[in-house]
Structure 1
Amino acid sequence: MDNPFFKTGDIAKLHNVSTDTVRLYDKEGLVKPSLVRENKYRYYTLQEVMNFGNVTMFRELDHSISSIKKRLDFSTIDEVVSLNHNQMSHLSKEIKQLEKKMAYLQTLNEHLHSFLEAPNTIQLIENPFLFICRGMEFSWGKNGISLSSSYEDEGVAELFWTRTSLISRNYHKQPDQTVRTTMYCSNIINSDCEAAEKIKIKRALRYNYVGNPFEHTDYMQEIDQQIDSYCQEQQLTISQEKYEVFLICLLDENHSENCYIHILYPLI
């Protein structure tokens, strides 16, 4: 062949993609070869190689194949610039979402480190934070546990917050000394939605519980006794309520399930 044709493997090497990607772009109609021989070998002209470079550039910038197909019909620079602006807006939202995920992972690790440093131990901590969706309470009935409302009903539209939410319980001692227990959907990070309420605590005693609360059913009474003794020794006073946050459950080497739970006792 006199004309400078490029084979599939050459294009793949030039743009650091697989030969399957070259064939996929042909199948999708993004860059079709000028010549396909009987042995199904594809041959591309220099212009087609340049077009292929444009496609890989847009794909690397996270444009979808469908949006690139639209770009192939563009005839002016203005159209390409407009497409780029739309993609920049999309990427900006993705960056914010990635930053939120990074913050969540960092916060989660800070919580989990407490179980490595001081398992089943009382710690005095400053400014602990917890966010709850107060409208979404769990209730117990004949048919089991049910939610009083949904995230949508409460105006929590942020998917990341809802899909990383945790179970928490609030124990509030009543004037008659009975304890009212309320279970909520909660999280360790804030949400832009007003329905996610931050529980403001200046100082608290935190118990880093590691164990199986479903088998060790008296765990809370035992922890309460430890907290009472600690408060007497340190001359501290706790409030009439506490918060229990279920962070994660894991199987140990004996295939026994361990729950990692923070129990917060706000100080007065």
Structure 2
Amino acid sequence: MSRPVHTTPASFIDLAHVSVMRGEEIVLHDLALHIPTGQCVAILGPNGCGKSTLVQTLTRELYPLVAPGMQVRVFGRERWDVTELRRRLGIVPSAPPPRDALTVPALDVVVAGFFSAARLWPNLRPTTAMREEAHATMEQLGVAALADRELGAMSAGQQKRVMIARALCSSGDGSGVRVLVLDEPSNTLDLRAQHELRETLQRLATDGVGLVLVTHHTHDITTAFQRVLLMNTGRIVADGAPAQFLTSEELSRLYGLPLHVQQRDGLYFAL
């Protein structure tokens, strides 16, 4: 039987007049945002600015207030079965791997991604093709040698690359993952692991994976990122090329303190 043919929509995200509440407070205010499929975008801003809420809106974990002209389209569609969307969208959360995954060999953790599960429970029956794809993805990310090692026995950097491999595994329906969303992936990583993460994201972008990166750290934003969004008080206050907005003047205004930005080897360092 031939596999279904999927066309790639021109847009990953189209938002218009999007406001989102948490509890009794509006934390996103009338946002408009367009992200083409395959584009690499970094989202930067202080704590509480709305970065994570925006990501949860993109991934349909949160829903906006109903308002005139409000629109949320993901891959060109307004309505999604969330399970189906998860098969088209790789999500790497900021939280550490779930406890259920820590005693599981890394390859099984990656294979479990096909089922949106933390581990391979007895009722889940992966195919040989799934295992082969999972191993190939781990090899792409430089962690194939860790396939038989339990996740809990790894460094934070190794765990992060395994979880990225898990997010990248497709559903097997021919569509594959087109976009990877990473929420503060360099938190808890040491300097070496941060460097390895940057190299991983650079390779993925070269391979055509779209990236949406939420970060506190300007040096996470490599040359793979064509665009940066600066957020504050639930609003997008700047949107454009990193060279335009990752400057001493713009970041000092964003964070409300004097900052000096240096650029070295294609990375931005705010001091």
Q: TM-score, normalised to structure 1's length?
A: 0.23
Which structure has the highest helix share of the two?
A: 1
| Higher gyration radius (CA) | 1
Q: TM-score, normalised to structure 2's length?
A: 0.22
Which structure has the highest strand share of the two?
A: 1
